[in-house]
Chains A and B, each alone.
Chain A
Amino acid sequence: MLYITQTALELGFLYALVAMALFLSYRILDIADLTTDGCFVLGAAVSVTLAASGHPLLAVPAAMIAGMTAGFVTAFLQTKLGVPSILAGIVTNMGLYTINLMVMGWSANVSLLKSETIFTLFEDTGIGGAWNEAILAGAITILMGVLLILFLGTRLGLSIRATGDNMDMVRASSINPAFTITVGLCIANAMTALSGAMVGQYQNAADINGGTGIVVIGLACLIIGETVLGRRTLVKGAIAAIVGSAIYRLIYAIVLYTKIMPVQGLRLITAVIVALAIAFPTIKNWILFEKRKAAARKGGN
């Protein structure tokens, strides 16, 4: 059980950055950014390829810059060329498949055999003992969360939040929405790529299909976290991304080890959770409306 918890915590922290990226793009900017899947693989591909050539540290910022570029392409399609936001993400995602293959030297997966990674480097320092991977992953994720919250309180951060909150207001108040959306998507995708970069080095491999469905899983994590913590403030939102991600990975690990069902079954459950959670307000209204109709009928007779 301890082992399960440890693995869940490690993966939870690593994948939490995707949930945090979606917190920024989906919750704050109100854009369903489907670049996420390809961007995650891009991060992993850049990171693992660079680590394989002996630069595990450089690999991390390089992956983030690559992710930022992917976010920029999506934002450019959307804000400058009028491509609807969902389609812009899908189009970029499609293109990224080829880019990712290219980064990995035209092979579908790259492995790190004996190369050093940020995790082996950290292990060598001796900090954290057996928990060193969880500690490194946690430190990076929490640091990114703190930076994100601090950033969202700056003038630029406030402008980005207003863009997702009230477009009418933004247009009338000297903020250029094209700029704020671009900055927001660049940051979100840098975080997604960072997640991919760390997962890649953690698993010592990058796979061309490693990002499939990451966007839905990230949303599920965010929703789980928000259900546990409530979604009122920014700080809670960022913590929700981490907590939700840890809970999701714990469930995943339990399913994996207890074999109560095939682990592939989790995808269906994840999809259902996300669909239900997003549909929740509509379902609630429908139930209230049906109740009112029933009450009115009773009163009428």
Chain B
Amino acid sequence: MLDIQKISKTFNPGTVNAKKAVSDLSLHLDEGDFVTIIGSNGAGKSTMFNAIAGVFYVDEGSISLDSKDITFLPEYKRSHFIGRLFQDPLKGTAPSMTIEENMALAYLRNTEGASPFTRISKKDKAFFQEQLSLLGMGLEDRLRQPVGLLSGGQRQALTLLMATMVPPKLLLLDEHTAALDPGTAEKVLELTKDITSREHITCLMITHNMKQALELGNRTLLMAGGNIVLDVGGEERSHLTVEDLLARFKAGTGRELDNDRILLSE
């Protein structure tokens, strides 16, 4: 469903700070894949996400989603079918707007062609409430409160809900639980699993937790130097341990996996 063909991206080309963040990267995802990604600092994980989401256009190569070429589609248009969550829980919601207004904005994706002058209806509200109750955080009773009053975990859960309420074709999770306390992170991760499996959303997730990377989903990518150096799935992956993964990384790149935040176990 997602097809990335030999994409490259260089930042600050032609200057001393030129950095080839992603080079000649290709990736194919099947419908319903849940892929975890780990890699060193500067391996190009986030750059790949930004290329898929359209934060910038790639220098070379092409990206297509559901056999539609999106290489030159602007970011806001891609957002109609690509959902995104960032590490910073403050990035995904508008703090001075209420929970219901934030959800209405996310719901806009579903109302393509509807008049821009329509307001939030009773039916919308009931739907938002029902969706919020699935989070089990009591947010369904706080529809009219500004999002700025919520905790980071609540905001991230709300962002997750907003990104998936109208199921996207592809969901990009960039260490979306890394900034949360362990309990909340666990909860948001559970929600992620529930929602993606319920809605059959194809998902790419960057994590720095090696164990999580192997346990979650059906496929794991290891990235280094702007490319994918290891891609395991299926039977092979189910027997893989964290130690195996590290060994495979070293065999593949000749270097140790170095990430200042990597978690080898819990």
Contacts and interface: CB of A to CB of B under 8 A. Distances in A.
B97 A161 contact: yes
B93 interface: yes
Interface in A129-163: 151, 153-156, 158-159, 161-162
B101 A158 contact: yes
B206 to A, nearest CB: 15
Given A155-B108, A158-B97, A159-B108, A171 B118 contact: no
A158 B104 contact: yes
B17 interface: no
A169 interface: yes
B53 A172 contact: yes
A165 interface: yes
* Main secondary structure on A side of the interface with B: helix
B91 A168 contact: yes
B32 interface: no
A159 B106 CA distance: 10
A285 interface: no
Interface stretch (B36-44, B63-71, B78-86, B230-238): B78-86
Nearest to B96: A165
Contact of A173 (B111, B114, B162): B162
Given A154-B116, A155-B114, A156-B117, A173 B108 contact: yes
A48 B4 CA distance: 61
Contacts, number: 81
Contacts of A158: 97, 101, 104-105, 108
Contact of B97 (A156, A165, A172, A174): A165
| Most A-side CB within 10 Å, residue of B86, B95, B102 | B102
B120 interface: yes
A173 B79 contact: yes
| Most B-side CB within 10 Å, residue of A158, A165, A166, A172 | A172
* Main secondary structure on B side of the interface with A: loop
Contacts of A165: 94-97
A175 interface: yes
A186 to B, nearest CB: 14
A155 B108 CA distance: 7
Interface in B106-160: 106, 108-109, 111, 114-120
A176 B116 CA distance: 13
A174 B119 contact: no
Contacts of A155: 104-105, 108, 111, 114-119
A175 B90 CA distance: 18
Contact of B77 (A151, A169, A174): A174
Contacts of B55: 171
Contacts of A174: 76-77, 79-80, 108-109
7 contacts: A154-B116, A155-B111, A155-B118, A159-B105, A168-B86, A169-B92, A169-B105
Interface of B: 53, 55, 74-77, 79-80, 84, 86, 90-97, 101-102, 104-106, 108-109, 111, 114-120, 162
